[in-house]
Amino acid sequence: GPYPATSDARTTSVGSLAIDRFLRPVSYQNLSQAVLPPELRDTSANDGVPRLRDGTLTLG
């Protein structure tokens, strides 16, 4: 995978800007409940995690 290092003199290999270069977005849209992480499953409704579902914000 990518390493947060660089030989480019215009950038740095440490700090938040270096981390931003190597982040990748992860989407859980349209996944079945079985493959979702436990904290994102519908069965975890009382865990205190805020969720945005169909434009409605709910607190678990």
In a domain, 25, yes or no: yes
Q: Is 12 left (phi over 0), alpha (psi -120 to 50) or beta?
A: beta
In a domain, 6, yes or no: no
In a domain, 7, yes or no: no
In a domain, 1, yes or no: no
Q: What is the pLDDT of residues 29-43, one digit of tens each?
A: 888 989 988 877 877
Distance CA 31, CA 39 (A): 14
In a domain, 3, yes or no: no
Closest CA to 60 of 43, 44, 52, 48: 48
In a domain, 4, yes or no: no
* Segments forming the whole domain that contains residue 37: 16-59
Q: Is the pLDDT confidence value at 12 over 70?
A: no
Residues 6+ apart with CB under 8 A from 2: 22
Number of domains the chain contains: 1
In a domain, 52, yes or no: yes
Q: Looking up tokens 């995690």, which residue turns up?
A: 49
pTM reported for the whole predicted model? 0.40
In a domain, 54, yes or no: yes
